[in-house]
Amino acid sequence: MASSVDGSAARPVVTRFAPSPTGFLHIGNARTGLFSWLYARHHGGKALLRIEDTDKARSTQEAIAVIHEGLAWLGLEFDGEPVYQSQRADRHAEVAYKLLAAGQAYKCFCTPEELTEMREAQRAAKQPIRYNGYWRDRDPSEAPAGAPFVIRIKTPEGGETVIEDAVQGRVKVDNREIDDFILLRADGSPTYMLAVVVDDMDMGCTHIIRGDDHLNNAFRQLQVIKAMQGIEPGWEEPVYAHVPLIHGSDGAKLSKRHGALGVRDYRDMGVLPETLFNYLLRLGWGHGDQEEFSKEEAIALFDIDAVGKGPSRFDMKKLLSMNGNYIRKADDARLAGLIAPLIGPQADVALLTEAMPVLKTRARDLNELASGAAFLFKTRPLNIDEAAAALLDGDGRARLAEISARLHGESDWTIPALEANLKAYAEELGLGLGKLAQPLRAALTGQTTSPGIFDVLALLGREESLARIDAQAGS
């Protein structure tokens, strides 16, 4: 049994992204969703979305909304309406009973106690722990009347299952390693293994792109597909592409100790959507030495054969460095609109837009950008942080009084004129310009970091600048 890339080449490409609502959209899932979406777009096919919401405890409307919100923020628009797995239980059961009627599945009446005894015997004999096929060839009439049962698939007892994986290459398993797994539970509910395959086939998926933690599942899911091929039309084996998982910078599987795990977390950290799109794209896929791609470039260039077999490492420093690059290239008005809510109702978007060329030069994220812009909207008396207060000691205040007198006489409140004025003053005093700029920055912003001091003076304007200086100089 094999799944072949060539065997599906003639079919229009249909991919799917199938996240489970867990309260957040995991960054690793978002990457496989991105790869699925890009592959479909690159080949002119369809990218479908399925919400695997069968876990009723976790699949709340809020959790589902988080998935839709995260995908929209990343700019991934899927084709058609989303499929909700929980609404298809009747169809899943229908397939199980079709397999049963065709002799490709059977009823298993084993009790929990019998299954426990079976496992213990296998463990004692140092055998693999799996169902031993006890009811595979028995007549159901041998079971007690009304006894509960599950439906198990009949897997091949010999040979091997081969997958020509588009990322992993040829992988295979001895069919004796695949037990007769359950399709339908005793309460009539479908197992994950059944539901996923039925949905994939009914949605017409030609390519299944997902994490390589699902590779073992593929061998089982192919058994269902193969068994249904003589029962219903349209059950063609898909092309599988199992993408290596993302690891942390230390090489261990990505977990909470490595930082944020959800797409929303990165948005709240001030990462731009185009940054995360680009960064996830580059985790395991590449095109020469190019680091940054527009969405259009990504669609034009992406193909699954360029995805590496080894796990990629998530590097927060690299992500934030890339984010800084995107911030510097972003439209000023857009950035102003994004950070205004972070500053508060006092924020003036027009002033932020005007100031943005200066503000965005060093910020690595939107929160830093908002923090760096906050001085523009502070009211007097300014809240002076501890580091800035240390600069406003007796000597610092005396120096401010001298600077104030100098600037009160400046009629041309422009960056070149202000710079020439204070540089000349520093030379007169035999000081470096920094000795003037440090207390001046503390008085104007309440902080020790800010844009260039002449930019700060120009953005605040003559009246506000002098009022802030005088308030700290004590004049």
Q: Is 80 left (phi over 0), alpha (psi -120 to 50) or beta?
A: left
**Residue 343 near residue 382 (C-beta atoms within 8 A):** no
In angstroms, the CA 75 to CA 280 distance is: 13
The residue annotated as part of the active site, out of 256, 295, 318, 435, is 256
Kindly give the interhelix angle for 462-473 and 433-445, rounded to the nearest 10 degrees.
100
The per-residue b/e assignment along 190-209, b for 16 or more CB within 10 angstroms, e otherwise, is bbebbbbbbbbbbbebbbbb
Joined together, the tokens standing for residue 231 give 């029962």
73: which residues sit within 8 A by CB, 6+ positions away? 263, 267, 273
Q: Which tokens in the block code for residue 76?
A: 């991934």
- Number of Cβ within 10 Å of residue 87's Cβ equals 11
CA triplet 313, 314, 316: central angle to 5 degrees? Answer: 140
End-to-end distance of the chain based on CA atoms, in angstroms?
Answer: 88
| One-letter identity of residue 91 | R
Handedness of CA 365, 366, 370, 371 (dihedral sign): negative
Question: Is 98 an active-site residue?
Answer: no
Give the residue numbers annotated as catalytic, written as ranges: 256
